[in-house]
Amino acid sequence: MFQRILVANRGEIALRVIRACKELGVEAVAVYSQADRDAPYLELADRAICIGKAASADSYLNIPRLIAAAEVADVQAIHPGYGFLSENPQFAEICRSCNFEFIGPPHEAIRKMGLKTEAKVIAAQAKVASVPGSDGAVNSEAEAIRIAKSIGFPVLIKAAAGGGGKGMRVCRDEASLPSSIQAARNEAEAAFKNPSIYLEKYIDRPRHVEVQVLADHHGNVVHCWDRDCSLQRRHQKLVEEASASLPIEVRRKLGEAAVRLAKTVGYTNAGTCEFLVDAEDNFYFIEVNARIQVEHPVSEEITGIDLVKQQIRIAAGEPLPFTQDDVKSEGHAIEVRINSEDPEHGFRPSAGRITDLRVPGGPGVRWDSHARAGYSVPPNYDSLVGKLIVHAPSRPEAIARMRRALDELVIEGIKTTIPLHKAIFRHKDFIDGNVDTTWVERVLMPPKAG
Ligand code: MV4
């Protein structure tokens, strides 16, 4: 096992990795920007190193500064967390070339999965169905029109280098296809420095279901079952659940598909295969997330596996200590993301000082947060202040437990998404499981008229 790890991230996930290190007997070295100099997660690390100014480009996205911190602290491995550099193949490659183990997949796998057109080729090799669409990038208007006519309108134009919903455009007819493609190319070039686009059949009101996988360096790949992450607003997830409440045969097939995909691309460490699921429970692969995700705790709760500890063990060369048959899905877990945003005012970030914080407890309740009373949420980064996770024997009991826990949770001094979550957990559609990726914006918070 490693003696010491650099945690190349901040906030909630930095604390999550520090906690895993402590339980493994590994020293955790935290990094921080000037905006985070008073952040509570630093006190829990064995050492903390300032890596630069508040701007991400000068700190958490700055590869030379992170490598310098790793050298100064004499660590053996680097955990990138989520966001920031976690899916940057160049960072993974540089870590390894500087003799630091990157706690994540091989840079080749990150690079391939970063190109969504390449990921779909790998899915086809693995005999995993993806959404019908173009074979790779679309290079001309004529080609786009031919493909759109063969799959049928509406089509979705996606950026090859995209993901997470950025740079997507729905196109409903042939007449608007050329201008939609041009607009999508411009967005893709601006956001990803890559104008390449591809086409997919637009799936109406899909559910977003993803499968957690773990793969070691000895050829063992297991899935840790499925999560439903359909509840989102403007591509920001709000609520995640495990399981995705699909029939067991569908869940098995999803898991097996994710394992085939991971094996085909030579994946190691933790990752997620994302699928869209239609009203008939048909599933279509869309992309791979080559990192630990914000919503990983719900999979931990139903399987009893500490995914972050497994990431570290895998990177240290240990074989997975269990087989697929050992990974059981028990009960139902739900996570809500508590963001410092004002739902009453278009979810604008609401940075500021938390004056009071009272966290829920009791059976089946987990609170993953770096925040505490007196902590000031800096305006420079994402607005996640904590994740409230519940686990119970069934989905109705998990919903009741989440309602109870949300009523106990008090955060004062900043605006948060707590009132929105309370409304979701009282809504009949959510309780009945009648939600999809369009539900929040279509039903719960439709745009105001005028
Ligand atoms: C889609 C889709 C409908 N049809 N692809 C958005 C995020 C990115 N991972 C893929 N996304 C979508 N791809 C086809 N062919 C609808 C979405 C989508 C979505 C997916 C998951 C979660 C939230 C979403 C919100 C809007 C659209």
DSSP assigned state of 174: G
The predicted model gives 276-289 an average pLDDT of 97
C-alpha 137 – ligand 1 centre gap (Å): 18
291 is catalytic: yes
Pocket test for ligand 1, best of 147, 286, 436 (most atoms within 8 A of CB): 286
Between CA 304 and CA 348 the distance in angstroms is 36
Between CA 163 and CA 159 the distance in angstroms is 8
* pLDDT tens per residue, range 101-156: 999 999 999 999 999 999 999 999 999 999 999 999 999 999 999 999 999 999 99
DSSP assigned state of 166: B
> So what's the pLDDT on residue 111?
97
Nearest of 110, 116, 50 to residue 85 by alpha carbon: 110
> So what's the pLDDT on residue 121?
96
Q: Which atom of ligand 1 is nearest to the CA of 284?
A: 15
Label residue 399 by pLDDT band (50, 70, 90).
very high
Burial of 190 (0-12, 13-18, 19+ CB in 10 A): exposed
What is the reported pTM?
0.97
- Atom 9, ligand 1: which residue's CA is nearest? 164
> So what's the pLDDT on residue 347?
84
Per-residue pLDDT for 345 more than 90? no
> So what's the pLDDT on residue 449?
59
> So what's the pLDDT on residue 446?
86
The overall average pLDDT reported for the chain is: 96
Nearest of 120, 201, 226 to residue 163 by alpha carbon: 120
Per-residue pLDDT for 448 more than 80? no
Between CA 250 and CA 247 the distance in angstroms is 5
> So what's the pLDDT on residue 426?
97
Per-residue pLDDT for 367 more than 90? yes
* pLDDT tens per residue, range 49-61: 999 999 999 999 9
Pocket test for ligand 1, best of 117, 170, 208, 228 (most atoms within 8 A of CB): 208
Beta bridge partners of 250: none
Label residue 450 by pLDDT band (50, 70, 90).
very low
> So what's the pLDDT on residue 45?
98
Residue with tokens 């799936």: 203
* pLDDT tens per residue, range 167-224: 799 999 999 999 999 999 999 999 999 999 999 999 999 999 999 999 999 999 999 9
Per-residue pLDDT for 349 more than 90? no
> So what's the pLDDT on residue 306?
98
Label residue 162 by pLDDT band (50, 70, 90).
confident
What number of CA atoms fall less than 13 Å from residue 446's CA on the CB side?
A: 5
C-alpha 111 – ligand 1 centre gap (Å): 21
Selecting among 16, 185, 260, 291, the annotated active-site residue is: 291
C-alpha 165 – ligand 1 centre gap (Å): 6
- Atom 13, ligand 1: which residue's CA is nearest? 165
Indicate the SS3 state at residue 186: helix
> So what's the pLDDT on residue 106?
98
Pocket test for ligand 1, best of 131, 156, 239, 291 (most atoms within 8 A of CB): 156
Domains of the chain: 4-103 (3.40.50.20), 132-201 (3.30.1490.20), 207-444 (3.30.470.20)
Any residues with Cβ below 6 Å from ligand 1, and which? 131, 156, 163-165, 200-203, 206, 208, 232, 235, 274, 276, 286-287, 437
Q: Which atom of ligand 1 is nearest to the CA of 229?
A: 22
